[in-house]
């Protein structure tokens, strides 16, 4: 149990570090960060940003090695889609253009800077109904 709590805390700190780095990265590319950690009963969105007039829902994946973007499963896409729909409804933005991006971060050993891959339009909305595939 103690190991589980320590692992959970480490994952939260590591994830927060990744979200901060992703937000800096996107701001340097001209995007405006609107919200960090948007949570609903259906899912969570790491970052909500504005790219021109497009609302961007960003999933951030951080790893020490490998390909972090592969961790975004169809089920994860579905939960992000539901959270995005909640955000759009709540703010009266259902007519606003939007997209789903992934920011994948690989943290090397030592103090070297991370490798950051931004994948715009990484996936389409998932779920049931007209707006979903």
| Residue 9 neighbours by CB under 8 Å, 6+ apart | none
The pTM score is 0.87
Whether the Cβ atoms of residue 80 and residue 57 lie closer than 8 Å to each other = yes
Q: Give the separation between CA 117 and CA 111, rounded to whole angstroms.
A: 19
Four-point Cα dihedral 82, 55, 21, 45, nearest 10? -10
Structural domains in the chain plus CATH codes? 2-123 (3.40.1350.10)
- Please give the Cα distance from 67 to 82 (Å, whole number): 25
Summarised one tens digit per residue, pLDDT across range 38-93 is 999 988 999 999 999 999 999 999 988 889 999 999 999 999 999 999 999 999 99
pLDDT, mean over the chain:
88
CB 100 within 8 A of CB 51: no
Q: What is the pLDDT of residue 13?
A: 59
């Amino acid at each position: 149990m103690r190991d589980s709590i320590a692992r959970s805390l480490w994952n939260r700190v590591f994830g927060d570090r990744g979200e901060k780095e992703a937000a800096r990265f996107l701001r340097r590319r001209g995007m405006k960060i609107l919200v960090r950690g948007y949570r609903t009963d259906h899912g969570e969105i790491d970052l909500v940003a504005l790219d021109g007039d497009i609302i961007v829902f960003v999933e951030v994946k951080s790893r020490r090695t490998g390909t972090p973007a592969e961790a975004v499963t169809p089920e994860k896409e579905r939960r992000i889609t539901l959270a995005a729909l909640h955000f759009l409804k709540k703010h009266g933005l259902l007519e606003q253009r939007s997209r789903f991006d992934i920011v994948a971060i690989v943290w090397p050993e030592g103090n070297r800077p991370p490798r950051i891959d931004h994948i715009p339009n990484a996936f389409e909305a998932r779920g049931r109904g007209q707006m979903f595939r």
